[in-house]
Amino acid sequence: MSTNMRTFLAILLSFLVVFVYQYFFAKNIETQKQEQAQTQTQTQTQPTQGPVVAPGGVPAAPAAPAPAPAAAVKAAAAARDIRVETPLYTAVFSTRGGALKSLKLKEYRATLEENSPLIEMVQVQEGAELPLSTAFTDSSVVLPGDIVYETDRKALDLTGEAKPGKLVFTYAAPGQYRVEKIYTFRPDRYSFDLEVRFLNNASAAVNQNLSIRWLEELNKKGMEEEGAIAQVKNSTEREAGAKLERKAYGPDIQWGGFENKFFLAAMIPKQPALTTASFARDARGQILVTLDGPKNTIPPGQAGVFNYTLFVGPKEYNRLKEEGVGLEAAINVGNWMKWLAYPILFLMQYLYKYVGNYGVVIILITILTKLLFWPLGNKSYKSMKEMQKVQPKLAELKERYKDDKQKLNAAVMELYKTHKINPLGGCLPVIIQIPVFIALYQLLSYAIELRHAPFFWWIQDLSAKDPYYITPIIMGATMLIQQKMSPPMGDPMQQKMMLLMPVVFTFLFLNFPSGLVIYWLVNNVLSIGQQYYINKSPAA
């Protein structure tokens, strides 16, 4: 394999890695973030914990449940809003369904503008059912999800508190049942707990199967990578919102909900082994994620208790990890690259503590990566240099054996053996570095740390494209310089293709996150310096 061919294959392989990986693993990436008006994330967690007998009671053997009198569920008073303030978010709950009406993240804004609205995690159509609505289905008592509850307070403020706070919604059908939805909020976390208690006041046992739902209307302005998501038996299932069809999963649902590129709304059941999940669209076309728990029999005078944890917030690795249910899988670094992407993320976070600029962190990581592969790079460039020396002899052999390919191949291999040249010496170092590039590609595309993170001058968001396309153009120029420094190809067709590669890469990188472009640009500059050093060094 000639030097020119190896160089061509190396660049072509890099191109294919970027293009194919982009197609299969990041195909839903939308255009620019500056056009995002609001970030929406929704997730649904299903009540999965089976009924717990109230203190002092012992579960009776399931009897043939006699249907409880059908309660005439009426929307009593008009629905009211209950505001919950924490240092991290402002949530608004409605007494209609005891559900979530709004949740705004205080540390994240929709755009770079100073007065840009806070990220809103709830977006449903007017009059539609609200996220975290609950309903008893497959049951002898039907409880609609939009009934109006009573509540124990008008507001809850935890901004100056260190202890958790509770918000309780209550609905009672006299002589039949009483339902409580108890939310527990912690000031320092994006997660909060939900306990649903069903007290059977009827004279006969009742069957209950609680479902919990998250609804979300797709962002009409094109929020990036919106869709339903669930963790099923340690495998992450994703369905893009625009293409979503009805899907069913489980049992063994660890969590499920709604996501976009940087934010997540997840419902976490306490009994995943008995929980199933489904993705669908409701009658209004909204995304609907439902978690269904097991069917349980509740004897008279006893209570069934269903417990969930809800996470509604950013995809910050540390916050997701501390929930202990694998929420960090929502960061779309790819199942194959976790082993490499997560250590790089930890290194980024560590360096940021001392540098304070993620753009500089990317440059430092690029330098460290280059140093790590420096010996391999030297080997590659030396092999290219030696191959360049034997190009005249290769040309003679091609002319001598132009009618006999078998003899030509034998003569070429003998030439390589005489000059101690490994034909794959220039390709293998490039191939070995491909996993690192893929991991960095995914990480720099999906790490929320880069969202709205400034670099210098015109680059104020490392997760968005370069607004003036300056860095991609410079990157293309560095690729052209590398090409000029490499031995010329003998095949005219290959030469034309090589000249086209910098142009293709430049256009490919125009809409890539500027953080990724900076990584590739700095890597090219370092490679130019290394190749120049090898080319100028005396031969062994």
Given a contact cutoff of 8 angstroms between Cβ atoms, the answer to whether 315 and 263 are in contact is yes
Q: Which comes out higher in pLDDT, residue 219 or 179?
A: 179
Which of the four pLDDT bands, split at 50, 70 and 90, describes residue 29? very low
Select from 124, 57, 131, 47 the least CA-distant residue to 97: 131
Residue 5: pLDDT over 70 = no
Q: What is the pLDDT of residues 87-137, one digit of tens each?
A: 999 999 999 999 999 999 999 998 888 888 999 999 888 888 899 988 876
Query: Which letter, b or e, does each residue of 340-356 get, where b requires 16 or more Cβ atoms within 10 Å of its Cβ?
Result: bbbebbeebbebbeeee
* Residue for token pair 């909900």: 257
> What pLDDT is attached to residue 385?
67
Which among 62-66, 420-424, 496-500 has the top mean pLDDT? Answer: 496-500
Given a contact cutoff of 8 angstroms between Cβ atoms, the answer to whether 103 and 38 are in contact is no
Residue 41: pLDDT over 60 = no
Measured in whole angstroms, the distance separating CA 222 from the mean position of its chain's CA atoms is 16
Residue 290: pLDDT over 90 = yes
Provide the residue count of the chain: 540
Residue 407: pLDDT over 90 = no
Q: What is the mean pLDDT of residues 474-501?
A: 74
> What pLDDT is attached to residue 37?
35
User: What is d(CA 49, CA 47) in angstroms, rounded to the nearest whole number?
Assistant: 6
Q: What is the pLDDT of residues 495-525, one digit of tens each?
A: 667 778 888 889 988 988 899 899 989 988 9
Q: Which comes out higher in pLDDT, residue 327 or 378?
A: 327
DSSP run (H or E) holding 142? none
Which among 4-18, 72-86, 286-300, 495-509 has the top mean pLDDT? Answer: 286-300
Q: What is the mean pLDDT of residues 451-466?
A: 91
Q: What is the mean pLDDT of residues 45-64?
A: 36
3 state SS of 530: helix
> What pLDDT is attached to residue 309?
96
Which among 143-147, 152-156, 388-392, 396-400 has the top mean pLDDT? Answer: 152-156
Pairing relation of β-strands 303-314 and 191-200? antiparallel
3-state SS of 79-110 is: CCEEEEECCCEEEEEECECCEEEEEEEEEEEC
Given a contact cutoff of 8 angstroms between Cβ atoms, the answer to whether 209 and 234 are in contact is no
> What pLDDT is attached to residue 25?
41
> What pLDDT is attached to residue 129?
87
Select from 293, 315, 314, 317 the least CA-distant residue to 305: 293
> What pLDDT is attached to residue 295?
79
Residue 64: pLDDT over 60 = no
Which of the four pLDDT bands, split at 50, 70 and 90, describes residue 468? very high
3 state SS of 238: strand
> What pLDDT is attached to residue 31?
35
Residue 386: pLDDT over 80 = no
Entry pTM: 0.78
Residue 281: pLDDT over 70 = yes
> What pLDDT is attached to residue 30?
39
> What pLDDT is attached to residue 155?
95
Select from 306, 294, 244, 255 the least CA-distant residue to 277: 255
> What pLDDT is attached to residue 156?
96
Q: What is the pLDDT of residues 154-198, one digit of tens each?
A: 999 999 888 999 999 999 988 888 999 999 999 999 999 999 998
Mean residue pLDDT across the chain: 79
Which among 90-94, 225-229, 382-386 has the top mean pLDDT? Answer: 90-94
Residue 426: pLDDT over 80 = no
> What pLDDT is attached to residue 146?
72
> What pLDDT is attached to residue 144?
66
Q: What is the mean pLDDT of residues 241-251?
A: 84
Residue 325: pLDDT over 60 = yes
Q: What is the mean pLDDT of residues 246-257?
A: 92
* Residue for token pair 């669209």: 281
**Phi and psi (nearest 5°) for 9?**
-65, -35
Tokens found for residue 481: 């310089």
Amino acid at 363: I
Q: Lowest mean pLDDT: which of 196-205, 300-309, 388-397? A: 388-397
User: What is d(CA 348, CA 449) in angstroms, rounded to the nearest whole number?
Assistant: 9
Which of the four pLDDT bands, split at 50, 70 and 90, describes residue 434? confident
> What pLDDT is attached to residue 493?
67
Residue 223: pLDDT over 90 = no
Q: Lowest mean pLDDT: which of 181-185, 255-259, 331-335? A: 331-335
